[in-house]
Structure 1
């Protein structure tokens, strides 16, 4: 993946935007906040989603703020280390829309996790030793193992099991995992994140956490099942991203050909890629999508002219009036994406540990 993404290419901006949206969508869906990738991308761009309700929008916006801060800190020189004050700051950004959940503060008392039937499945450690456990976790993270994927997974596990907050512990644990990956600079964290995978495999995610937690705070238990799960998730998510890299390049080329054929602005290619995938386009989102895909800053008037030209060329279909107007892909544009999807190989679920043993006999 690093070879494919070692330098931004023409389709990099649209792929990165969609990948970030899927990661945020996955993490929030685990907590019951469901929104389309299109609506999540809108919130990430500070736009109103078309379908998501107010509570979901606020949850996504909070997670966006925390992750944006994580990315800013990770790119600083020297990179910011994770400490207790940063944890509390990230939690406030994430949960600030609900003051009843004590955003930016440690939980005031005991806390536990219940299943759908109200049975307690995990009892977190007592409140009186909370700060010490957090400090120990941060100290272990600072020492590190030298393997970023392992350090990030252990930070996720330890924070989730310490359960230091009244609410938002899962989102914070996933955010911290992304922080470690971003801090170590392997790739843009959007492409390394396993949050989308966790959202698609929530039952397995909860299952392995329950297995390792064993009902109550038990730090003597082995974390091997959790590490196996996380490394498998990274492997499988990487396969998904590699497929999307190829598809993004192919879709960009097809939209590029359509733009050239109709004499349209080159800056509209990324927006056409979004529309071909089924996203609804608005003028304000067009301006931001152009910025993220090609780096151009355009005015609202320029966006309006572009959208009219795309509609006149038979690539976008306008719906609604005035501020409520959106644009959908026409059959001609949708056909470009459908052709790519029709050539998508049948997915094969691979266990990387079995694969490693097949390739390296004797590896146990």
Structure 2
């Protein structure tokens, strides 16, 4: 959604174009991947693809230093692997339950939660938002839903901020539903 690298430098037009192409490539490449295949190496491979060969994004490397994004601190580097494993384990249990019978809204809420949790963990130096939105898109597609495309950045960030402060997904779900409605 943003046009700045985590170092504060704007992406060049060529870098933005490469990042857009990488997102399309990953969207196509991830379609046949089943949701229960989600694991840390898959997230790292997807991060490499989304990084479009830009070395400043540190493709596929889990963060080893502290980071802030907005007014939040990312998960402490030593805890990133554990937090990712917990996220993946919860996802796998919930996805299995969803396949036994669920509503579209339950699938959308799960995909939005996975996306918000990945952003809260912030496992990579850069590209966490792109990866989290791709993960949400992928889970929506796997659940037979269209994917949200967030157009109103302030509302999207407000939903994420609320989630990061309270773990309440309500505002982010409202923003997500609005994003879906505007794309149909």
Q: Please, what TM-score do these two structures have when normalized by structure 2? A: 0.82
1:167 aligned residue: 126
CA separation in 2, counterparts of 1:80 and 1:229? 24
Shift of 1:104: 1.2
Shift of 1:56: 1.3
Shift of 1:96: 3.6
Shift of 1:59: 1.0
Question: Does the aligned pair in 2 maintain the 1:155–1:177 contact within 8 Å?
Answer: yes
Shift of 1:232: 5.0
CA separation in 2, counterparts of 1:212 and 1:239? 21
Shift of 1:161: 0.3
**Greater than 6 Å deviation, 4+ residue runs:** none
1:56 aligned residue: 16
* 1:104 matches 2:60: yes
1:208 aligned residue: 159
Shift of 1:159: 0.0
Equivalent positions of 1:147-226 (< 5 A) are 147-184=106-143, 186-187=144-145, 192-195=146-149, 198=150, 200-214=151-165, 221-223=166-168, 226=169
CA deviation string 1:262-293 (max 9, x = no partner): xxxxxxxxxxxxxxxxxxxxxxxxxxxxxxxx
CA deviation string 1:122-169 (max 9, x = no partner): 111210111000000000100116221111011001000000001000
- The 1:157/1:136 distance shift into structure 2, 3 A limit, reads same
- The 1:70/1:210 distance shift into structure 2, 3 A limit, reads same
Structure 1 unaligned residues grouped into runs of 5+: 1-29, 34-51, 115-120, 215-220, 243-364
Equivalent pairs counted in the alignment come to 168
CA RMSD of superposed structures (Å): 2.1
Equivalent positions of 1:246-325 (< 5 A) are none
1:94 aligned residue: 50
Q: Please, what TM-score do these two structures have when normalized by structure 1? A: 0.43
Question: Does the aligned pair in 1 maintain the 2:163–2:172 contact within 8 Å?
Answer: no
